[in-house]
Amino acid sequence: MQINSIKVWLIIVINLIMISSLSFTALVSYNDAMHELDEIYDAQLARNARLVSTMLTAMPEFSTDTPLIITVPEFTDTGENLTSAQERRQTGHKYERKIAFQVWQADRLIMASENVSQFPEPQTEQGYHELVEQGVHWISFSLLQQPDLWVFTAQREDVRQEMSEHIALAQIRPILVMILPLSVLIYLVVKLILYPLNRLQQSVAEKHAEKLTEITLKQPVELQPIQHAINQLIARVKHYIQQEKHFVADAAHELRTPLSILQLHAQNLQNAATPEQITEAASAIVDGSKRMTHLVHQLLTLSRLERIQDIHRATTPLITLVQDALSQMRLPLLEKVSWHIDIKPELVISGDTILLQSALRNLFDNASKYSEHNASVAISANIALANILAITVKNPCSVAPDLQNMGNRFFRHQSHQHIDGSGLGLSIVKRIVELHGGSIAFDTSHQSEVSIMLRLPITLCS
């Protein structure tokens, strides 16, 4: 199962770390407790042996003819869960039979607890030993007090293990019990930590296209860059929506007039009475359709360019781009003027070849459209600044251009209304130049002449 939730991952990972840490702590505590308890029990065996030995030494008149058997009371285990206080009886404790001792002198048993009086003589080697007698595992300690006096103390391993585990588990049980409350606490803490993220998500979800406003939530330092990026995105979306609204409004306005003219020509064709009138109306419809087709094509091109944020760059000689753009022009426009090209072959431009050709073609189309027949159009390029290429298209112009509005969508000079066009050519050029990180400038310092300069990044061929 794939988990696709930061919240769930955090809860799982933190819980695993917590459980692993507590389990490791409990294991270490358990082992340490068992080790320390074993040491205590071993010390008790040695102490008991020394105590018995000291008592015998203090009783020199003690008779060794008959072994002295110490009676150990036997209590019946009812299986009830009794408290420690209830298990402490006036006559002793049930665990007494699990603790024993023997005293040997000259290979003779002289004293023993009742529960081990039948044991064979233990090994005569000082220290701790383990032995199994009648299926019971004992841990014993041997002490040589005199050359022939041995004291043996023993404790059953099962009672030692039982008591050790009971004490050790009592130490680690609180640690294990804390796992569940800590898991709940971890869940609440993670939920609290992620609350700002949930608020941000809710705030974004409440946004709609009709009312895009910035998010002004007070966020932790980690979420502030995300909120800032979202606000930047909202600002761009608002800008694009406004552009689309203006674009649609302008397009509707611009399309209304040619559509009305087409309708008028269609009515004229419908009412035509002579072949000449039919031919004239049909020709007008064809011309209007061409203008409409050109306008729609320009609208679609500009709309597509508005949505592009990144371009595919390739290195191409500038002279090749210019020649390709000229070859794509309609023949009447190409032959209307004479073209003078002054571009060095080593000039190379980095950009989207198709878009750059489109920009140059629009410039060349405009230069030809708004020039007189047989006029001269100059195309030149030079390195204006470091790594900046200035492409200049200069053509004669009989009307002083409106520099303030040049490049705006659908703008056409009042004196040029008779010339076919949509008023979108320079807008397309401007957008393509912006995508390449460049700029566009207009110059009318020379009388009856207009220059359009494109500034674009460039490299030089070696």
Tens-digit pLDDT profile for residues 38-75: 888 888 888 888 888 887 777 666 655 677 777 776 76
Q: Which of 269-278, 303-312, 430-439 has the lowest mean pLDDT?
A: 303-312
Q: Is the pLDDT of residue 334 over 80?
A: yes
* Pick from 63-77, 141-155, 287-301, 390-404: least confident: 390-404
CB 438 within 8 A of CB 457: yes
Quote the percentage of the chain above a pLDDT of 90: 0
- Identify which has the larger pLDDT, 273 or 433: 433
In 79-194, DSSP assigns E strands to 99-105, 108-113, 127-133, 136-146, 149-156
Distances (CA, A) of 52 to 95, 105, 150: 19, 13, 10
CA 322, CA 316: separation in Å to the nearest integer? 11
Average pLDDT of 203-220?
Answer: 79
Q: What are the sequence ranges of the domains in the chain?
A: 6-73+94-179, 224-303, 310-460
| 352 within 8 A of 312, measured Cβ to Cβ | yes
Q: Which of these, 253, 265, 262, lies nearest to 422 by C-alpha position?
A: 253
What mean pLDDT do residues 116-135 have? Answer: 72
Q: What is the Cα–Cα distance from 237 to 208, expressed in whole angstroms? A: 11
pTM of the model: 0.46
> What pLDDT, on a 0 to 100 scale, did the predictor assign at position 77?
64
**How far apart (Å, rounded) are the C-alpha atoms in residues 299 and 285?**
21
Average pLDDT over residues 89-111: 74
Task: Give SS3 for 449.
Answer: strand
Judged by average pLDDT, the poorest of 131-140, 340-349, 385-394, 445-454 is 385-394
Is residue 102 helix, strand or coil? Answer: strand
Which secondary structure element, helix H or strand E, spans residue 381, and what is its range? Answer: strand 376-385
Is 8's pLDDT higher than 50? yes
| Mean pLDDT value across the chain | 76
410 pLDDT exceeds 60? Answer: no
The domains spanning 224-303 and 310-460 adopt the same CATH topology: no
Condensed to tens digits (0 to 9), the pLDDT of residues 151-202 reads 888 888 877 777 777 777 777 778 778 888 888 888 888 888 888 888 888 8
Q: Could you give the CA distance from residue 350 to residue 387 in angstroms, rounded to a whole number?
A: 11
Classify residue 282 by burial, with Cβ atoms within 10 Å: 0-12, 13-18, 19+. middle
311 — pLDDT class (breaks 50, 70, 90): confident
Fold classification of 310-460 (topology level): Heat Shock Protein 90 (3.30.565)
pLDDT at position 186: 87
Per-residue pLDDT, 393? 66
Residues with Cβ within 8 Å of 1's Cβ and at least 6 positions away in sequence, in order, are: none
pLDDT above 50 for 17: yes
User: Tokens representing 197?
Assistant: 């993220």
Give the gyration radius of the chain's Cα atoms: 52
Mean pLDDT over residues 279-301, rounded? 74
pLDDT at 462 over 50: no
CATH number 3.30.450 given to 6-73+94-179: yes
CA distance 201 to 213: 15
Could you give the CA distance from residue 414 to residue 426 in angstroms, rounded to a whole number? Answer: 16
Using one digit for the tens of pLDDT, what is the confidence trace for 214-254?
877 888 888 788 888 888 888 888 877 777 777 677 667 66
Per mean pLDDT, which range of 10-19, 50-59, 86-95, 279-288 is the poorest? 86-95
- Position 86 confidence tier, pLDDT thresholds 50, 70, 90: low
**Residue 4 φ then ψ, to 5°:** -120, 55
Confidence of residue 461 (pLDDT cuts 50, 70, 90): very low
Q: From residue 68, give the alpha-carbon distance in Å to each of 37, 56, 62, 64, 134.
A: 31, 12, 10, 8, 22
Chain CA centroid to CA 132, Å? 64
Domain 224-303 annotated CATH 1.10.10.10: no
The half-sphere exposure of 17 on its side-chain side, counting CA atoms within 13 A, is: 6
Q: What percent of the chain has pLDDT over 70?
A: 75
Do residues 426 and 415 lie in contact, with contact meaning Cβ atoms separated by under 8 Å? Answer: no
Compute, in degrees rounded to 10, the torsion defined by CA atoms 241, 246, 252, 257: -170
Mean per-residue pLDDT for 331-355? 85
Cα–Cα dist 115/99, whole Å: 8
| Helices and strands per DSSP (H, E), number in the chain | 11, 13
